[in-house]
């Protein structure tokens, strides 16, 4: 059966995450339902990452095996039509035929996320489910400087969910940048893979640096403590976006962070 790679964009607000749930809506279920509507076959799609409840994606990747009668353009058009008719806030940005060995999760060599904070006095209206509103003034430069303590190969136990299923808390964080543009503060994080809730935990702790509650030394202490109780409050999910997934030979899927 031909294998297809799907590049997917979605608003995570209505969903209990990417992974199929027994009694709650999920992105995976929405796409699999749309696949059934035009193929009449029950198929399973496999994602590059399991985004949590309320987390968004600009470049999630999944793979699926379908009957040989379907071409990549047919799959993209049919999926988008079915998702649109169902009112699902999910779009298939690209469909590509790939080798049988391709695996959306295990073939990935890089994942890129962006966390969006809106830092202003006024509450959010249009972006209330798309960004974290922080009224207290944040020093983005201090946040960026402190973030550099976290880049590299570390034990990230402090910034790991108690429910994380990863075998090891040790990860290599390739990039962690904090950028301000007006009242928008963006945190860009890149690594081969992440622990459960790692980015939201990092952002929540960086926020404490930004508002002056913590110093750079405090953040470094939290990392070195290797203790979940040393973590700052975890940032809410609705500010987090999976932006891009990288694959070998320069094969990328998603939107390059700006």
> How long is the chain?
258
Helices and strands of the chain, counted as H and E runs? 5, 11
Catalytic residue among 41, 52, 74, 224: 52
* Residue 139 appears among annotated catalytic residues: no
Asked if 34 and 93 touch (Cβ cutoff 8 Å), the reply is no
CA distance 3 to 96: 9
CA distance 60 to 4: 14
Beta strands in the chain (DSSP E): 3-10, 46-47, 56-65, 90-98, 110-119, 132-134, 152-155, 170-181, 184-191, 240-247, 251-254
Asked if 238 and 132 touch (Cβ cutoff 8 Å), the reply is yes
> What's the half-sphere exposure (Cβ side, CA atoms, 13 Å) at 171?
27
DSSP class of residue 157? Answer: G
Q: What is the number of other CB atoms lying within 10 angstroms of the CB of residue 139?
A: 16
Which residues are tagged catalytic? 52
């Amino acid at each position: 059966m031909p294998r297809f790679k799907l590049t997917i964009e979605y608003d995570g607000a209505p969903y209990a995450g990417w992974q199929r749930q027994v009694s709650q809506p999920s992105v995976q279920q929405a796409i699999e339902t749309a696949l059934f509507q035009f193929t009449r076959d029950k198929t399973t799609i496999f994602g590059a990452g399991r985004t949590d409840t309320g987390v968004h994606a600009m470049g999630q990747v999944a793979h699926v095996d379908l009957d040989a009668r379907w071409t990549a353009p047919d799959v993209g058009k049919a999926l988008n039509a079915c998702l649109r008719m169902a009112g699902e806030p999910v779009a298939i940005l690209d469909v590509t035929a790939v080798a049988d060995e391709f695996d959306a999760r295990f073939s990935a060599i890089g994942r890129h996320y962006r966390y969006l904070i809106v830092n202003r006095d006024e509450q959010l209206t249009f972006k209330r489910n798309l960004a974290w509103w922080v009224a207290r003034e944040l020093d983005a430069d201090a946040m960026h400087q402190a973030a550099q303590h976290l880049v590299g190969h570390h034990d990230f136990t402090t910034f790991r969910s108690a429910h994380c299923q990863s075998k090891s808390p040790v990860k290599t964080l390739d990039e962690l940048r904090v950028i301000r543009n007006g009242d928008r503060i963006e945190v860009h994080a890149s690594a081969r893979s992440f622990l459960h809730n790692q980015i939201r935990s990092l952002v929540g702790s960086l926020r404490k640096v930004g508002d002056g509650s913590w110093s750079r030394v405090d953040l470094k202490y939290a990392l070195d403590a290797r203790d979940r109780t040393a973590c700052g409050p975890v940032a809410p999910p609705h500010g987090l976006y999976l932006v891009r997934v990288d694959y070998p030979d320069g094969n990328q899927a998603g939107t390059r962070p700006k």
